[in-house]
Each structure stands twice: as C-alpha cells, then as structure tokens.
Amino acid sequence: MSDDVRIEDATTAEFAARRYLESQYPGKAIEVKFSKIWFIGGKLKDVWEVEGILTRRRAGLIKDRKSFRFQIDAETGDVIGFESVRKE
C-alpha cells in the first residue's frame, strides 16, 4: 500500500491482508476467511494482527488449505510479518 495510508479499522486491515494474499497467488481462485482481527498499540509501532484460513483450488477438486497470520503496520498498511501453516 502507499506510504500515506493509515489502517484505521478492522475492515481496512482485512483488505490489506486480502490484497497481499491475492498478490501471492496471481490468477488463482482463492477463498479467504478471516477468524480474528485485532489492534495492538505499541510504544514504537502500532500493528494490526489478522488471522484466518486461505483455501485455493489446485487440480480439479483438490483444495489446499492454509491457516495464516499477518502483522500489518497501522501507519503504512504494509505487511511486516506473515506466517502460514498448511492444514490437513
């Protein structure tokens, strides 16, 4: 996102996370479900934490599911932390 963007609410944090995921899987059909979104105010940096599940179609009926967790800078909207774990 641009340097002048401030993430003010959970909806904007969700949008930033979805945009990042779509950039990681260009042209792929993905489904994103968010489970938790919360704000953490810190002395040095304010951060939005976003958790959820990403489902993408692979070959035919096979689906790949991953749980994810983001840390998004509240000042810039940039992703500063990302963790993804494959779900069985």
Q: Is residue 70 part of a domain?
A: yes
Q: Is residue 50 part of a domain?
A: yes
Domain count, the chain: 1
Give the E-state strand segments of 3-78 in sequence order. Answer: 30-40, 47-57, 63-73
Category of 60 on φ-ψ map: left (φ > 0), alpha (ψ -120 to 50) or beta: left
Q: Is residue 23 part of a domain?
A: yes
Q: Is residue 2 part of a domain?
A: no
- For tokens 């509240």, what's the residue? 74
* pTM of this prediction exceeds 0.75: yes
| Residue 57: domain span | 10-87
pLDDT in tens, the chain (88 residues): 544 568 889 999 999 999 999 999 888 889 999 999 999 998 889 999 999 999 988 777 888 899 999 999 999 999 999 998 877 6
Q: Coil, strand, or helix at residue 39?
A: strand
- Identify the CATH number of the domain in which residue 48 sits: 3.10.450.40
CA distance 75 to 63: 35
Residue 4 confidence (pLDDT): 57
Contact 34, 17 (CB under 8 A): yes
CA distance 65 to 30: 10
Q: Is residue 1 part of a domain?
A: no
Q: Is residue 32 part of a domain?
A: yes
